[in-house]
Amino acid sequence: MRKLLILFNCLFIAFTSMAQKGSGFEKLFNGKNLSGWEQKGNGASFSAKNNELVATTDGNIGKAWLVSNKLYGDFVLEFELMAGKGTSATVLFRSNMEPDGDQGYQCVINPASPIWNNAIYCGAGRGYLYTAELSPNGTSAFKSNAWNHYRIECVGNQIRTWVNNVPVAYIIDNKRLSGSVALQIDGIDVAGEQVRWKNINIKTSGLKPTETADTYIVNLIPNTLTKAEKEQGWNLLFDGETSKGWVNVNNKTSFPEEGWIIQNGMIEAIPNKPEARVRGVDIVSVEKFKAFDLQFEFSYAEGANSGIKYGLGNGGPTIGLEYQILDDKKHPDANGGKLGNRRLSSLYDLIPADRLGELTNGPGNWNYGRVVLHPDNRVEHWLNGVKVLEYVRGSSIYNVLVAHSKYAGFEGFGMVEESPILLQYHQDEVKFRSLKIRNL
């Protein structure tokens, strides 16, 4: 029996080796030493033990990296990882480790945080591109203190990740197309904490992107739709070139002659200045929507005020629910209302956004907004991949909030069954792009 078991194990190892070789994957870690890698940073050390690559904290706070000697463009990277709730690790890819060791895409492994575990972060000031909250199944797929199988797929401008065969992040982006693979562990003030990797393999040829529409997609290439997005029902509200689909809120027939300009793939609100007077008005989509999921990117100047409105009509063509866009640090209205309910991404004058001011990329940078109006009247506001508020239209709490707001005099405020989307002109410079919507 013992001889049969030995023979079976030998055959299994040989078969696995042949299958791996035939699949086009090659080992990034040989299981014996750190050949092909270079260690940088401090706070932890890396070693090879029992066919595992082990990162161990030394009690000093810092970051330590193990960086591949080769650069990779298109690839499929697979590995297994074990981490406990007290650790924080990252797998970097298409990364540039100079000068600060923090550039490129980063798959964050943070078991203690449901929002950030398995999120995708990008250096160079871009922040989180994909949070775990956008794909909650991915977070639940991760198992602390157990081996987890990861797959990271980068083919052209498409980046995808899976954890234990569950799809997590799905990003379309073309900012970085090549770089190192690096393993990172964050040093903590406790020595001996470990993150372990094994079976680290990479494939660089014969690649084809997985374009199945099986999870939420963050498309960072302005004003475009991928095949998978179309399959999910997304449509562009702005084509990136013309005013088609948008009209003056007052006449509903033509685009305003003043106040807005379309250039460089953006709809821009022109600021009104004493030396250059502008007679701007709000603009609305020609199409009306009932239940919907709306995505948009926006950039605001210092001190700017604007908003995106929905549920318009009861009280006038511009009266409705507003996703607030505001420079909270410079505009005085940030201190108006109650409990911050006039600040960025709040439901204007009604409900303040959670984590006020924490999630914004700031003036002059692109932020990613989202409004979801469900068929059952649940509404969500999102900012940069994080849900910042949720409420139920028409609920008793909603009605009390309206009764104590500036909208108290409008009967049925915000309860219109079907409404266009409105971009507010507020005499300040605000830019919009990648306006996308799907019916729910």
Q: In a structure prediction context, what are the per-residue pLDDT tens digits for the chain, which is 440 residues long? A: 444 444 444 443 344 443 444 579 999 999 999 999 999 988 889 999 999 999 998 888 888 899 999 999 999 999 999 987 778 899 999 988 765 555 789 999 988 887 788 999 987 778 899 998 998 787 788 998 899 999 999 999 999 999 999 999 999 999 888 999 999 988 788 888 899 999 999 999 999 999 999 999 999 999 999 999 999 999 999 999 999 999 999 999 999 999 999 999 999 999 988 887 888 999 999 999 999 999 999 999 999 999 999 999 999 999 999 999 999 999 999 999 999 999 999 999 999 999 877 889 999 999 999 999 999 999 999 999 999 999 999 999 999 999 999 999 999 999 999 999 999 999 999 999 999 999 99
Nearest Cα residue to 223 out of 265, 267, 175: 265
225-439 CATH = 2.60.120.560
Superfamily of domain 24-218: Exo-inulinase; domain 1 (2.60.120.560)
Phi–psi pair at 2, nearest 5 degrees: -60, -40
Q: Domain limits of the chain?
A: 24-218, 225-439
The pLDDT of residue 171 is 97
What is the per-residue pLDDT for 85?
75
Residue ranges with strand state E in 73-145: 75-83, 89-95, 105-109, 120-122, 127-130
- Residue 21, judged by CB atoms within 10 A of its CB (0-12, 13-18, 19+), counts as exposed
Distance CA 422, CA 419 (A): 9
Q: Do domains 24-218 and 225-439 have the same CATH topology?
A: yes
